[in-house]
Chain A
Amino acid sequence: MKQPDLLFKALADPSRRKLLDRLYANDGQTLGELCEHLDMARQSVTQHLELLESANLLATRWRGREKLHFLNPVPLQAIYERWLSKFEKPRLRALHELKRRLEGELQ
C-alpha cells in the first residue's frame, strides 16, 4: 500500500484516532499506559499501534526496557498542505461556523 493510502487507512479507524488523541494529550507513553482507560484488548492496541507506525504517524523510542510511543505529526502536515491549505480557508471557516451555529440552535 502506498504511503498516503496507509495514512488515510490509519486515520479511518476511530480506535486509532483515539490512540492519537491520547498521545497528543500525553506524548511518549508505554503500551501499558496507553491501554489504561481504554476499552480495548492489549493485543488490539498493539495491532493499531503497528498500523499507525507503518503510516509514520507513530515513532517509538526505547527508555531502558520501556518502549515509548510518540505521535509523529509530520504526515498530518503533509495532508494539511495537500488537502486543506489549497482549498480556501476563509470560506471553509465560514461554513464551519455556520454549521456549528445551526447545529447549536437545533439542540
Chain B
Amino acid sequence: MNKSTFVYVTFIRTTPERLWSALTTTDFIRKYWFGMTCESEWKVGSQWKLSFEDGRVADRGEIIEADPPRRLVLKWQNEWKPEMKAEGESRCTFEIEPVPDLGTQAVKLSVTHGMERLDSKFIQAVAGGWPSILSNLKSLLETGEIVLQSSKRNDK
C-alpha cells in the first residue's frame, strides 16, 4: 500500500455469484464499462485485456489471483498512453463480501487499485473512472439499466 492507491467501496443488492459473473463476463462488462471489451479466461496466470470499441487496446495484464466468488487480483498496465505505459504495472484487487446485516441479499464490493510509485499519472487517470463504472455496475445489477452512457475517458 502506498500513496498511489485508491479504494472504492459499493454495496450492491445481488449475490456474490452474480457479481462475480458480472465482473468476468465480456458481454456484461461492456454494458457498464461504456462499451469497452474486456477479455480473459479469468484463471490464475491468464492474460486479460481491455479494448476500445474501435479495437485499440487500452489496458492489459495478468490474473494473479482468482477465487470465485470472493477475490480477483489483476496486474494492470496501461497500453494506450506512452507516459502511463512507462509507469509499469499497477495492481487491482476486487473483493466481494456478503453483507447479511443489510437484510435483503447484499454484497460489499471493494476495488483497490494502486501502483508502487508516488503520484502515478495512471492511477490518477483511472481514479476518475472507477466511481462511474461501479455506479453503472450497481445500477445494472439492481435495476437492469445503466445510468451513465458515456465516460470522460472515451471522449479523449
How distant is B19 from chain A, measured CB to nearest CB, in Å? 15
B8 in the interface, Cβ–Cβ < 8 Å? Answer: yes
Please determine whether A72 and B7 come into contact, CB atoms closer than 8 angstroms: yes
The answer to whether B86 has its CB under 8 Å from any CB of chain A is no
Q: Is B14 on the interface with A (CB-CB < 8 A)?
A: no
Which residues of A sit under 8 angstroms from B6, Cβ to Cβ? 27, 70
User: Quick check: is A77 within 8 A (CB to CB) of the other chain?
Assistant: yes
Which residue of chain A has the shortest Cβ distance to B10 in the bound complex?
A74
Question: What residue of chain B has the Cβ atom nearest to residue A62's Cβ?
Answer: B1
B112, CB-defined interface residue at 8 Å: yes
How far, in angstroms, from A15 to B5 measured CA to CA in the complex? 24
Kindly state the interface size class of chain A when it binds its partner: 10 to 19
Known contacts A81-B135, A81-B147, A81-B148, A74 near B8 by CB under 8 Å: yes
What is the bound-complex CA distance between A73 and B9, given in angstroms?
Answer: 8
Contact B7 A70 (CB under 8 A): yes
Given A27-B6, A56-B11, A74-B9, A63 contacting B131 (CB threshold 8 A):
no
Contact B1 A61 (CB under 8 A): yes
- A28:B148 contact, CB within 8 angstroms: no
Contact A28 B3 (CB under 8 A): yes
Query: A77 and B1 in contact (CB under 8 A), knowing A59-B8, A59-B9, A72-B8?
Result: no
Q: Give A residues with C-beta under 8 Å from B.
A: 3, 26-28, 56, 59, 61, 63, 68, 70, 72-74, 76-78, 81
